[in-house]
Amino acid sequence: MSPSWNNVRADFPILHQQVNGHPLVYLDNGATSQKPRSVIDALVRYYERDNSNVHRGLHALSTRATDAYEGARARIAKFINAADPAEVLFTRGTTESINIVARSWGHAHLKPGDVVLTTEFEHHSNLVPWQQAAKAAGATLKYVPLLGADGEGGPDLAALDQLLTPQVKLFAFTHISNTLGTINPVAEFCRRARAVGAVTVIDAAQSVGHRPLDVQQIGCDFLAFSGHKMCGPTGIGVLYGRRALLDQLAPDETGGGMVVQVTYEGATWKPAPERFEAGTPNVAGAIALGTACDYLDNLGRDKIAAHDTALVTIAMEKLSALPGIRIIGPKKGAERSGMVSFAFEGVHAHDVVTFADEDGIALRGGHHCNQPLMRKLGLTSTTRASFYLYNTPEEIDRLVKSLQRIQKFFAG
């Protein structure tokens, strides 16, 4: 049975407020999602009852905090179907997760003449770390082209085959583009990369909270995501790494909690996950992220994906009818994730966002950390409306009305 989406709204306290005299319409979920009561309660409960440092104390609170922290790791492993909780490393978010791989794996494995492959539509967080790693190693960074004047054709799969030579040591790509809404065939990408012996890194920031995700079925080596885009807190995220790779990897950061023995001459490392979690971790964040996994799986991520698709299909239909609009990314709602990025002829995205805010609607305008992609499409910025489980068709109507008001103002 499908959840009642209107009841879902009751779980999110922040949604029940007026902004500029209008009920809030929150359509900036690509940037960060709102938090259900259960996640907020998990944070408060931890600080009220269990707050203590993990892995170091023998007292009751420390044991409780450690059990809850490790319980969250096991919960998240189940959420992405990792074979072993030790394959789940807690980080600050997608950006840190990708940087860890770029620095640790890149430093150990990349050499002059090697190729790192990515796509033309990556978030800066899955682009700049690879530029840095390639530069440091004397390797070359290459890009799988994006097809279509509006980026509607997705990745060029024929070009991918040409680019995937044995020189490619690593292929890093997004699961879902945060600007285009393109959904990449990630299992297929991994299969092709494996055929040339390349390690795969997936940026799952926009996907893991929106649709079922199974790292074993996808067959990736690394996968990164952020808690705050999937109903969890900010400041917590995950790097999934296949155990065999993590065991060979040197830590990026060193310090307390990740060592077995330290002498004045040197130190030895614990195995994963501790090896990669130097210092006091974000215990409350990790626990509340586990709660977010419960929340999403209780609703059903397949149902959330269907809800996203239903909303984006309505939005595509209604927005396409507006004069002078240019929508980028896949043309059909069914082929994209729950977001729409668009440009209005003669109206800057920042003006669109400011006007929509007057109507109580939260949108995002700018380059969306996709500057090279914007340049490729001949744009400086777009406006993005991004949906999640608590959004409704009525909110899309409010968006359309607001956009009509904006167009009228600028036409006059």
The residues carrying an active-site annotation are 369
Q: How far is CA 223 from CA 93, 254, 324, 329, 344, in A?
A: 11, 22, 38, 23, 35
> Is 247 in contact with 221 (CB distance < 8 Å)?
no
For the chain, percent helix, then strand, then coil, each to nearest 5?
Answer: 45, 20, 35
Closest to ligand PMP by CB, 65 or 292: 292
The span from the CA of 42 to the CA of 254, in Å, is: 29
Q: Nearest approach, Cβ of 319 to ligand PMP (angstroms)?
A: 21
Closest to ligand PMP by CB, 33 or 407: 33
> Is 82 in contact with 105 (CB distance < 8 Å)?
no
Order across the sheet with 382-386: list the strands: 325-328, 339-344, 382-386, 364-366
- The residue count for the chain: 412
- Cα 97–Cα 101–Cα 102 angle in degrees, nearest 5: 110
Going through 175-298 in order, the beta strands assigned E by DSSP cover 199-203, 222-226, 237-241, 259-262, 267-269
CA atoms within 13 A on the CB side of 410: 16
Q: Nearest approach, Cβ of 5 to ligand PMP (angstroms)?
A: 23
Closest to ligand PMP by CB, 369 or 406: 369
The span from the CA of 181 to the CA of 337, in Å, is: 5
Amino acid letter, residue 203: D
The greatest distance separating any two alpha carbons of the chain, rounded to the nearest whole angstrom, comes to: 74
Q: Nearest approach, Cβ of 211 to ligand PMP (angstroms)?
A: 14
Per CB under 6 A, residues contacting ligand PMP are: 93-95, 123, 125-126, 174, 178, 203, 205-206, 226, 369
Closest to ligand PMP by CB, 126 or 282: 126
3-state secondary structure of 60: helix
Q: Nearest approach, Cβ of 167 to ligand PMP (angstroms)?
A: 26
Q: Nearest approach, Cβ of 251 to ligand PMP (angstroms)?
A: 20
Query: What is the separation of C-alpha 72 from the centre of its chain, rounded to a whole number of angstroms?
Result: 19
Closest to ligand PMP by CB, 301 or 364: 364
Closest to ligand PMP by CB, 66 or 125: 125
Closest to ligand PMP by CB, 66 or 174: 174
- Cis-peptide, bond into residue 112, ω within 30° of zero: no
Closest to ligand PMP by CB, 207 or 407: 207
Q: Nearest approach, Cβ of 327 to ligand PMP (angstroms)?
A: 19
CA torsion sign for 172, 177, 179, 180 is positive
Amino acid letter, residue 98: I
Q: Which of 22, 25, 23, 28 is nearest to 385 (CA)?
A: 28
Q: Nearest approach, Cβ of 228 to ligand PMP (angstroms)?
A: 6
Q: Nearest approach, Cβ of 412 to ligand PMP (angstroms)?
A: 35
Q: Which of 399, 339, 345 is nearest to 370 (CA)?
A: 339
